[in-house]
Amino acid sequence: MNERRQKNYSIPEIPLSQTTDVEEEFIRRLVIEPVLMKEAYGIVESKDLFSKECKEIFIEMLKLYERQESWDMLILSMKFPDHILHEAHKDVIYSVPESVGVSSFKQQVKAIKSFSISREIYQFTTDQASLFWFRDPGDYATSALNFFSKLDLNYNRKEQWNLTELFKSYQTLMESRLAGLTTGITTGFKDLDYLLGQGFQRKDLVIIGARPSVGKTSFSLTLAHNAAKAGFKCLFISLEMDANEILDRLLSFQTGIPVTQLIRGKGIKQEKLQEGYKQLQSIPLSVLHLPRATSGDVYAAASKHKYIHGLDLLVVDYLGYLSDNGEDEVLRLGRISKSLKTTANLLDCTVIAPHQLSRKIEQRSQEKREIPLLSDLRDSGHIEQDADVVMFLNRNILGETGTKTTLRLGKNRTGETGILNLTFNQLTTRFE
């Protein structure tokens, strides 16, 4: 019998001496060239310095810089009298290096910021490691997502604030627009694409609000299906309906066979069914049933999909079913909406999340009911703030008008708002 061996896990030590050397050199450069502070200001903070002595000296420099005052070795020495100025302070202040240019100083700034972030990550993973095996993986993923979303990882791209640098990528985008190429992710509805400004934009959080049974899932699935047929890589995460129920609808979309007929399995031609299978498997659309998931679970699944298959559009059906913890419902949903927005940013994709409207809308007249407000989003405070686009679906689900649906674009950060008319195909559950 082979002996079972347990793996040993270890975390390498932080190279503290290396970080201290860089920090001391950084401070010495600022001592003799105060003008260099403009290259570090707004990027390096006092908390980014590990050395206590370097941190104290840097804080004094920041105070002088913010008062638009300069400094030299004498002024700094006066800030640290002999009974306070330890040998370490003296070594830092009086060991003056030769000036070697602004570019090398910028590299020191980046190195200090990089070391600081590495220490934060190290501290977080060390603190969490002892708790990991005793926590729900979904809660751990959520806390990790929230932690990393707060880290400023873009310090290396500060120079892109320069308009000359920004225009390089902007001109490429504008050339695509002038050539009539779609720069967004198509919805499959021309008028909606127009209002959105050439479809959904990457990094956008899109909320679809409606009362129960109006068609939040069907509309979201229609959008994903339309985008996938246009070649965009889509992932539909269902928190409520299982994968077979979603596939029933997709197959109905593709073949026109009524959903109820597919469920009953009666009167279906095998040839048409096989053709539907083939067509669906040819488009880049994935379906994942993820019950009792948190927003961290959603990010983990979407991140994996992006790494393996790519990802342009993510649908999470629906926001209220995510099981993140929270002190109350408003704060819980606010935490979820923030996490979904962070997911859109980190994965560079559009995130669509249907959400339920509050019951108060049903207390209005029919005319006013057709024009939902942002405040009608259930426990809406943070949701309407985090969302880039908010759409409202309204449909009289009874009588002959049950197929007529109004789509109101209630919020659109980058384009227009307006009302569109859609038709709900009750046989295939598809919006057209």
Domain count, the chain: 2
Give, for 410, the enclosing helix (H) or strand (E): strand 404-412
User: For 65-94, what is each residue's pLDDT tens digit?
Assistant: 888 777 777 777 777 665 445 555 666 655
246 lies in some domain:
yes
Q: What's the pTM?
A: 0.66
Angle between helices 329-347 and 295-308 (to 10 degrees): 10
137 lies in some domain:
no
Q: What's the mean pLDDT when you consider all of the chain?
A: 79
Which of 86, 124, 95 minimizes the C-alpha distance to 26?
95
CA distance 380 to 10: 44
DSSP string, 152-194: ---GGGGGGGSHHHHHHHHHHHHHHHHTT---SB--S-HHHHH
11 lies in some domain:
no
Q: Which tokens is 392 given? A: 């409202």
49 lies in some domain:
yes
CA distance 97 to 345: 42
In a shared domain, residues 187 and 123? no
In a shared domain, residues 283 and 195? yes
| CATH number of the domain enclosing 274 | 3.40.50.300
CA distance 221 to 318: 11
In a shared domain, residues 20 and 123? yes
Structural domain including 370 reads: 183-431
344 lies in some domain:
yes
Q: What percent of the chain has pLDDT over 90?
A: 13
152 lies in some domain:
no
149 lies in some domain:
no
In a shared domain, residues 106 and 205? no
CA distance 417 to 196: 8
> Are 212 and 394 a contacting pair, CB within 8 Å?
no
Strands of the 430-431 sheet, one edge to the other: 285-289, 234-238, 313-317, 350-356, 205-210, 389-395, 404-412, 418-425, 430-431
Query: Of the residues 87, 108, 127, which one is the last residue of a structural domain?
Result: 127
CA distance 45 to 20: 15
What's the start-to-end Cα distance of the chain, in Å?
64
In which band, very low, low, confident or very high, does the pLDDT at 284 lie, cut at 50, 70 and 90?
very high
CA distance 167 to 48: 32
CA distance 354 to 211: 10
In a shared domain, residues 22 and 116? yes
Which of 184, 216, 208, 223 minimizes the C-alpha distance to 387?
208
Query: Of the residues 127, 147, 175, which one is the last residue of a structural domain?
Result: 127
| Stretch 412-430: mean pLDDT | 86
162 lies in some domain:
no
CA distance 409 to 388: 11
In a shared domain, residues 279 and 207? yes
Query: Of the residues 127, 143, 173, which one is the last residue of a structural domain?
Result: 127
User: For 99-142, what is each residue's pLDDT tens digit?
Assistant: 557 788 888 888 888 888 888 888 888 777 777 677 676 667 77
Neighbours of 105 (CB within 10 A): 19
- The mean-pLDDT minimum among 92-101, 255-264, 340-349 falls in 92-101
| CATH number of the domain enclosing 43 | 1.10.860.10
